[in-house]
Amino acid sequence: MAEEQDLGRRLRELRERSGLSLRAVAREMGISPSAVSQMERGRMRPSVSRLIAYVGAIGAPLAAVFDHAGEVAKAELFAVRRSWEAEPIELGGGVSFRRLSPVPVPGVEFFESTYPSGAVSTAHRELLRHEGYEVGSVSRGELTIEFENETVVLAAGDSVTFPCHRPHMISNRSPETAVATWLIVHT
């Protein structure tokens, strides 16, 4: 529960920094203010799609969810983060995200996702779209990416790239946990 509360606190801090009210974010996401409040209080773990919708509604990159104490990347900054310092964020359905860059890098999101068997990126099996251009590589297991008119199955060692505005949904239909590395570039 502490993990959900930490994520909730980070979401609330980001929303407050954006200057948007809880109701405005709920309206933008198309959900109830109560649902947004539950996410911010750590009572409800958002799905991948809800988390992306939340940061999109407040105008923040996904990487901002991982920020601690105002981490900032500068061109001249040299940064190292050890593996034990990289806390994953657990989302709905058991999916977890872990930022791989040691500090936020403007315009780029670099993270690892873990999808247990049966996990789906969206709570209601709806296709997701967001900003940027996505590049992914599966390192373990198998992931299925559904687009409007096409389904692609990626096994360990396979990679994919597509514009994020193309509606998509990621799931693990295999019995084994899947792990993938993702790079999202914002143009």
The upper half-sphere exposure of residue 78, i.e. CA atoms within 13 Å in the direction of its Cβ, equals: 0
The verdict on 38 and 91 lying in the same domain is: no
What CATH number should be reported for the domain holding residue 91?
A: 2.60.120.10
- What is the pLDDT confidence band of residue 67, given thresholds at 50, 70 and 90? low
One domain for residues 31 and 89: no
Res. 69: pLDDT tops 50? no
Residues 179 and 87 in one domain: yes
Average pLDDT over every residue of 108-125: 90
Within-domain flag for 171: yes
Among the ranges given (20-24, 44-48, 83-87, 137-141), the one the predictor scored with the smallest mean pLDDT: 83-87
Q: What is the pLDDT of residue 106?
A: 82
Give the model's pLDDT for residue 11.
92
In a shared domain, residues 180 and 136: yes
The count of domains in the chain is 2
Give which of 136, 146, 151, 120 is closest to 181, Cα–Cα.
136
Mean pLDDT taken over the chain: 87
149 and 99 in a common domain: yes
The lowest-confidence range among 46-50, 112-116, 134-138 is 46-50
Given 23, 41, 66, the domain boundary residue is: 66
Q: Flag whether 73 is in a domain.
A: no
Which is more confident, 123 or 46?
46
| CATH assignment of the domain containing 13 | 1.10.260.40
The model's pTM is 0.76
- Asked if residue 75 belongs to a domain, the reply is no
What residue numbers bound the domain in which 51 lies? Answer: 2-66
Burial class for 168, CB neighbours closer than 10 Å (0-12, 13-18, 19+): buried
